[in-house]
């Protein structure tokens, strides 16, 4: 369970997030949507406990995130950030095994290696494991960072725009996998994804969280909340949600 109560985040005296009240339980795939500058990334960082709060509380699985020790925090939430850019000469396997830091502190054991192998397998990175990151395409690198977050082994995975730089095939590929791991069963993860692709959100999300100007507009089941009225209001442009052959599509109205 993620619980945000009366959350306020400020930067340089500007209010980035304003009194966010939000709670949702484990499981499923949550799409976080909203226009540029709505505060989506900031909210994700706040959920991961990486931002100082001006007011309010953030707890994940009962852990008080902003005040938790780094190691405890990283056992509950994995965060893939948008600015993930690595300057060092690292290969894919090294990167993914950084995700295990909170478990191994620099000296990986058999459990860590197993988790790394599983993540590499799951995101189709097996053949690329020895490749240096700077020799990969943007999409491959993106998948490596998602795999790193998966290897962390946390109940919650927060991903900030993992679909950026991916072509349609990999968008579909990645979303299918994220959708699959968020289904009930052993090793289930709760996945929260910041995305701009509304059609993809409509197709895969169980739940949406919509932000605008630092405020929570709505949160709830995607089936109910993802409507033309909401999207038109959110993005200040007329949009409609149509159902064609059982699929929900977002189209200009």
Residues of this chain that bind another protein (CB under 8 A):
45, 48, 50, 70-71, 73-75, 78-81, 83-91, 94, 98-102, 105-107, 132, 148, 152
User: Least distance in Å: CB of 117 to another protein?
Assistant: 18
Contact 59, 65 (CB under 8 A): yes
The two tokens of residue 207 are: 């739940």
Q: Can you tell me which residue has the tokens 């900031």?
A: 42
User: Least distance in Å: CB of 40 to another protein?
Assistant: 15
CA 15 to the chain's CA centroid: 23
Using CA atoms, how far residue 28 sits from 64, 131, 190, in Å, is 22, 32, 5
User: Least distance in Å: CB of 73 to another protein?
Assistant: 7
The strands making up 55-60's β-sheet, listed across from edge to edge, are 14-24, 2-11, 55-60, 63-64
Rank residues 80 and 219 by Cβ distance to another protein and give the closer one.
80
Rank residues 80 and 250 by Cβ distance to another protein and give the closer one.
80
Rank residues 94 and 206 by Cβ distance to another protein and give the closer one.
94
Query: Distance between CA 60 and CA 205 in Å, rounded?
Result: 21
User: Least distance in Å: CB of 140 to another protein?
Assistant: 17
Rank residues 84 and 124 by Cβ distance to another protein and give the closer one.
84
């Amino acid at each position: 369970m993620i619980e945000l109560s009366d959350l306020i985040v400020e930067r340089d005296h500007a209010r980035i997030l304003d009194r966010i009240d939000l709670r949702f339980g484990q499981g499923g795939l949550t799409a976080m949507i909203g226009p540029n500058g709505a505060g989506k990334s900031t909210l994700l960082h706040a959920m991961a406990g990486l931002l100082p709060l001006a007011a309010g509380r953030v707890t994940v699985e009962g852990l008080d995130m902003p005040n938790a020790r780094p190691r405890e925090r990283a056992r509950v939430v994995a965060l893939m950030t948008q600015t993930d850019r690595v300057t060092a000469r690292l290969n894919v396997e090294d990167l993914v095994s950084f995700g295990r830091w909170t478990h191994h502190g620099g000296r990986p054991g058999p459990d860590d290696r197993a988790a790394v192998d599983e993540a590499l397998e799951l995101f189709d990175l097996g053949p690329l494991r020895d490749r240096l990151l700077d020799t990969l395409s943007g999409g491959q690198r993106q998948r490596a960072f998602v795999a790193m977050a998966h290897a962390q082994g946390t109940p919650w995975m927060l991903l900030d725009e993992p679909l950026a730089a991916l072509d349609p095939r990999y968008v579909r590929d990645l979303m299918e996998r994220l959708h699959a791991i968020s289904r009930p069963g052993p090793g289930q993860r709760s996945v929260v994804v910041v995305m701009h692709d509304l059609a993809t959100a409509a197709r895969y999300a169980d739940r949406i969280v919509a932000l605008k100007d630092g405020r929570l507009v709505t949160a709830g089941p995607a089936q109910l909340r993802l409507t033309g009225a909401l999207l038109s209001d959110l993005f200040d442009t007329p949009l409609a949600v149509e159902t064609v052959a059982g699929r929900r599509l977002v189209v200009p109205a």
